[in-house]
Protein backbone atom coordinates (compact mmCIF):
# COMPACT_ATOMS: atom_id res chain seq x y z
CA UNK A 1 0.00 0.00 0.00
CA UNK A 2 1.30 3.44 -0.92
CA UNK A 3 2.17 5.64 2.07
CA UNK A 4 0.15 8.82 2.36
CA UNK A 5 1.98 11.82 3.76
CA UNK A 6 -0.07 14.52 5.42
CA UNK A 7 1.09 18.02 6.20
CA UNK A 8 0.48 19.25 9.74
CA UNK A 9 -2.54 21.38 8.83
CA UNK A 10 -3.96 18.59 6.67
CA UNK A 11 -3.71 16.18 9.59
CA UNK A 12 -5.32 18.67 11.98
CA UNK A 13 -8.16 19.40 9.55
CA UNK A 14 -8.82 15.70 8.84
CA UNK A 15 -8.90 14.91 12.54
CA UNK A 16 -11.20 17.84 13.20
CA UNK A 17 -13.60 16.80 10.43
CA UNK A 18 -13.71 13.35 12.04
CA UNK A 19 -14.34 14.87 15.49
CA UNK A 20 -17.22 16.95 14.11
CA UNK A 21 -18.71 13.90 12.38
CA UNK A 22 -21.64 15.11 10.29
CA UNK A 23 -21.33 18.73 11.44
CA UNK A 24 -18.03 19.69 9.78
CA UNK A 25 -18.31 22.87 7.73
CA UNK A 26 -15.87 25.78 7.42
CA UNK A 27 -16.67 27.89 10.48
CA UNK A 28 -17.32 24.86 12.71
CA UNK A 29 -13.94 23.39 11.73
CA UNK A 30 -12.16 26.67 12.51
CA UNK A 31 -13.96 27.00 15.86
CA UNK A 32 -13.07 23.43 16.84
CA UNK A 33 -9.40 23.86 15.93
CA UNK A 34 -9.22 27.12 17.87
CA UNK A 35 -10.96 25.61 20.92
CA UNK A 36 -8.92 22.42 21.03
CA UNK A 37 -5.52 23.70 19.94
CA UNK A 38 -5.59 27.42 20.72
CA UNK A 39 -4.47 27.91 17.12
CA UNK A 40 -5.83 30.42 14.63
CA UNK A 41 -6.70 29.24 11.13
CA UNK A 42 -7.89 31.66 8.49
CA UNK A 43 -10.96 30.79 6.46
CA UNK A 44 -9.03 31.17 3.19
CA UNK A 45 -6.28 28.81 4.36
CA UNK A 46 -8.87 26.30 5.54
CA UNK A 47 -10.77 26.42 2.24
CA UNK A 48 -7.53 25.82 0.34
CA UNK A 49 -6.72 22.78 2.48
CA UNK A 50 -10.27 21.41 2.25
CA UNK A 51 -10.30 21.70 -1.57
CA UNK A 52 -6.85 20.09 -1.84
CA UNK A 53 -7.81 17.18 0.42
CA UNK A 54 -11.07 16.66 -1.40
CA UNK A 55 -9.15 16.56 -4.68
CA UNK A 56 -6.76 13.97 -3.19
CA UNK A 57 -9.73 11.86 -2.07
CA UNK A 58 -9.27 12.29 1.70
CA UNK A 59 -12.55 14.18 2.08
CA UNK A 60 -15.98 14.29 0.50
CA UNK A 61 -18.43 17.14 0.72
CA UNK A 62 -22.09 17.82 0.20
CA UNK A 63 -24.29 20.86 0.56
CA UNK A 64 -26.78 21.16 3.41
CA UNK A 65 -30.14 22.85 3.16
CA UNK A 66 -30.44 26.57 2.48
CA UNK A 67 -31.39 28.62 5.54
CA UNK A 68 -32.84 32.08 6.05
CA UNK A 69 -30.18 32.79 8.68
CA UNK A 70 -27.50 32.50 5.99
CA UNK A 71 -29.49 34.46 3.41
CA UNK A 72 -30.37 31.32 1.48
CA UNK A 73 -26.77 30.12 1.26
CA UNK A 74 -26.07 26.47 1.92
CA UNK A 75 -23.26 25.12 4.10
CA UNK A 76 -20.81 22.65 2.59
CA UNK A 77 -20.36 19.71 4.98
CA UNK A 78 -17.23 17.56 4.87
CA UNK A 79 -16.69 13.91 5.81
CA UNK A 80 -13.54 11.81 5.94
CA UNK A 81 -13.37 9.10 3.26
CA UNK A 82 -11.95 5.61 3.81
CA UNK A 83 -8.85 6.83 1.92
CA UNK A 84 -8.56 9.75 4.38
CA UNK A 85 -8.97 7.37 7.32
CA UNK A 86 -6.10 5.23 6.02
CA UNK A 87 -3.92 8.32 5.67
CA UNK A 88 -4.69 9.30 9.27
CA UNK A 89 -3.97 5.78 10.52
CA UNK A 90 -0.62 5.71 8.71
CA UNK A 91 0.31 9.12 10.10
CA UNK A 92 -0.63 8.00 13.62
CA UNK A 93 1.44 4.80 13.27
CA UNK A 94 4.50 6.75 12.10
CA UNK A 95 4.21 9.26 14.95
CA UNK A 96 3.70 6.55 17.58
CA UNK A 97 6.65 4.61 16.17
CA UNK A 98 8.86 7.66 16.53
CA UNK A 99 7.71 8.29 20.10
CA UNK A 100 8.31 4.65 21.01
CA UNK A 101 11.78 4.73 19.44
CA UNK A 102 13.02 7.50 21.75
CA UNK A 103 15.35 5.89 24.30
CA UNK A 104 14.19 6.40 27.87
CA UNK A 105 17.54 7.94 28.74
CA UNK A 106 16.88 10.70 26.21
CA UNK A 107 13.98 11.97 28.33
CA UNK A 108 16.23 12.06 31.38
CA UNK A 109 18.64 14.42 29.64
CA UNK A 110 15.94 16.86 28.50
CA UNK A 111 15.47 19.84 30.72
Delimit the domains of the chain by residue range: 8-109
Q: pTM score, two decimals? A: 0.85
Residue 28: name the closest of 52, 8, 46, 51 by CA. 46
The tens digit of pLDDT for each residue in 20-52 reads 999 999 999 999 999 999 999 999 999 999 999
The tens digit of pLDDT for each residue in 93-110 reads 999 999 999 988 887 877
The tens digit of pLDDT for each residue in 11-21 reads 999 999 999 99
**What residues does 61 pair with on adjacent strands?**
78
How is domain 8-109 classified at the architecture level of CATH? Orthogonal Bundle (1.10)
Three-state SS string over the chain comes to CCCCCCCHHHHHHHHHHHHCCCCCCHHHHHHHHHHHHCCCCCHHHHHHHHHHHHHHCCEEEEECCCCCCCCCCCCEEEEECHHHHHHHHHHHHHHHHHHHHCCHHHHHHCC
Q: Where residue 88 falls among pLDDT bands split at 50, 70, 90?
A: very high
Amino acid sequence: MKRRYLGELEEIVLLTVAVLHGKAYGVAIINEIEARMNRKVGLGALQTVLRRMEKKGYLESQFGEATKVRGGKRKRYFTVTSFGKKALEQTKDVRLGLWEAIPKIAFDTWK
